[in-house]
Amino acid sequence: MKFYIVIPAHNEADSIALTIESLIAQTITPTKLVIVNDHSTDATGDIVSSYMQNHPWISLINVKSEDKHLPGSKIINAFYKGLNALDEDYDIICKFDADLIFPANYLETIADHFNANPKLGMAAGFCYIKQNDNWVLEGLTNKDHIRGALKSYRKQCFSDIGQLKPAMGWDTIDELLAKFYHWDILTDESLHVKHLKPTGASYNKSSKYMQGEAMYRMRYGFTITAISALKLALKKKNISLFKDYMTGYFKARTNKTEALVTKEQGIFIRKLRWQGMLQKFKA
């Protein structure tokens, strides 16, 4: 299978070489790897360039955007800079972060999953973070959710979902829409990917409000938003985040912020969320 990989990178000089080396070491070599150097002020671009001569399937795009980190929009806008530089002769398109170390069999195993199930639209392994010299599961979400750091999409699924939304919550919307279009999603617990930088470490207060805004834009409705916000705040062990999320939701509702999904998709999403909650309650 032909893997095209796009990696947005902003000031990743301390990790990008490790990510590239782990992709070079894959048992299946990526067909193309585009790294989008987004307004870095460190040596990120130089490090990427040093690999390009010996690995012609690696390329670099330098772009300038706001230095401020805005969850969702900044990274997806950078992703599109890389995607637009590619042709469409791929089987699997990947959006990876620039601070990951992949096991050598990662792409081969993902390819095996896609080959085994023609209805598989998305697949990934699991992110692990370092704590007290041990690598432990980054347990921010359910195990059936693919983390935004390591997304792999079948070409047709990627097209069906309308590609990626440049907004907070994009890495949940893609899965919900994949299910709406009858695609399967798979997470492989055997694939342990080292995630060098914990997610959300640089999020500011306004970014936290964006989580609640995202729930509004996904048409969750008040009740599902409240349950999801409470669950996420408890998982992050910071109950004050519940207030931030709900504030963001009500701001979006008051401002009638544009939804990211259609009304029909919203009905499907709410039904799916309720089904998931009821299953966990019965368990």
Same domain as 12, residue 104: yes
If asked whether residues 28 and 82 sit together in one domain, one would say yes
Instruction: With beta carbons less than 8 A apart as the criterion, state whether 226 and 246 touch.
Output: yes
| Same domain, residue pair 255 and 185 | no
pTM equals: 0.91
Residue pair 251/209 in contact by the 8 Å Cβ criterion: yes
The reply to whether 200 falls in a domain is no
- Statement to judge: residues 234 and 145 lie in one domain: no
For tokens 């080959």, name the residue: 115
The CA–CA distances, whole Å, from 35 to 2, 53, 119, 168 equal 17, 15, 29, 21
User: Residue 260's closest CA among 152, 169, 133?
Assistant: 169
Whole-number Å distance between alpha carbons of 81 and 63: 8
Are 168 and 235 part of one and the same domain?
A: no
The tens place of each residue's pLDDT in the chain, 283 residues long, gives: 999 999 999 999 999 999 999 999 999 999 999 999 998 999 999 999 999 999 999 999 999 875 555 566 889 999 999 999 999 999 999 999 999 999 999 999 999 999 999 999 999 999 999 988 899 998 766 788 999 999 999 999 999 999 999 998 899 999 999 999 999 999 999 999 999 987 655 555 567 788 899 999 999 999 999 999 998 888 888 899 999 999 999 999 999 999 999 999 999 999 999 998 887 776 5
